[in-house]
A = this chain, B = another copy of it.
């Protein structure tokens, strides 16, 4: 067991996704911090979204060589009734802004690195309605205990 940290900056890892792919209008940042062995916190602000209710999720890949469409399926699709990559739905008002903080116990920050965060138009996460996405990257504070990632 790891010891408890005294601050919000996680010794278990932190990551960031600059939401800047797929749209001229929508921009934002999503930060992920593993605040305990169990809990990964997602915190974000995304601007320039169309008003309405939209799905927020993690997709398998972070490949943006063809924009958001090359990021693959939602993480865990088909493995259980609710894919673990389905994070939440965002309510966006007239100002076009989504702000959120989610405590998630299905995901770990070290399993998210190199994947992507996507906001869909509407609540149905199909491939043709990807509004904006960003690659989940390492940020400082990630893996202070260990600089290595490995397949396991």
Complex Cα–Cα for A47 and B124 (A): 37
Taking a contact as CB atoms under 8 Å apart, the answer to whether A138 and B63 are in contact is: yes
A50 at the interface (CB under 8 A from B): no
Determine the chain B residues whose CB is within 8 A of the CB of A64 once the complex forms: 18, 20, 137
Determine the main DSSP class of A at the interface with B: loop
- A61 on the interface (CB 8 Å rule)? yes
Q: This chain: how many copies in the complex?
A: 2
- Contact check, A114 vs B137: say whether CB atoms are below 8 A apart: yes
Inter-chain contact A146/B151, CB cutoff 8 Å? yes
Once the chains bind, are B146 and A60 in contact (CB under 8 Å)?
A: no
List residues 102-118 of chain A with CB under 8 A from any CB of chain B: 110-111, 113-116
Q: Could you say which residues of chain B place their CB within 8 Å of the CB of A110?
A: 149-151
In this complex, what residue of B is CB-closest to A61?
B138
Q: Which of B20, B72, B139, B148 contacts A111 (CB 8 A)?
A: B148
Give the chain B neighbours of A143 by CB distance below 8 A: 151
Given contact pairs A65-B139, A143-B151, enumerate 19 new A-B contacts (beta carbons under 8 Å): A16-B63, A18-B63, A18-B64, A20-B64, A29-B65, A61-B138, A62-B138, A62-B139, A63-B140, A111-B148, A113-B114, A114-B137, A114-B138, A114-B142, A135-B135, A148-B151, A149-B150, A149-B152, A150-B152
Interface residues of A, Cβ cutoff 8 Å to B: 13, 15-16, 18, 20, 29, 60-65, 72, 110-111, 113-116, 135-140, 142-143, 145-146, 148-152
